[in-house]
Copies of this chain bind each other. A is one copy, B any other.
Amino acid sequence: MSLTHIQSFVAVAEEGHVGRAARRLHLTQPPLSRHILALEDELGTRLFERTPRGMRLLPAGEAFLRHARRILAEVDAAVHTVRGVTAGRQGA
């Protein structure tokens, strides 16, 4: 499990499409597809249903999505907080 995989998952969930998500992430389809497969493998469950149109979230995927967003938001908050602390001490 890596933050990259989580970001990839969120992008695919939001786009419903590996190709579009890949473009959004400045990546090609194969690595992105592998991220999702690795995640599903690690969690032991399918997160998406593969349809002829693209990818649709399964219930496990919807549950994971909520956590995934929180994780990424928390990472952002961590970075901003540290920058804030540093700025408050005039940038050393």
Contact = CB atoms under 8 A, between A and B. Distances in A.
Contacts of A84: 63
Q: Kindly report how many copies of this chain are found in the complex they form together.
A: 2
Q: Which of A44, A59, A78, A86 is most buried by chain B, counting CB atoms within 10 A of its CB?
A: A78
Contacts of A67: 74-75, 77-78, 81
A27 interface: no
A45 B82 contact: yes
Interface residues of A, number: 30
A68 interface: yes
Given A63-B82, A63-B85, A75 B1 contact: yes
A89 interface: yes
B68 A71 contact: no
A24 interface: no
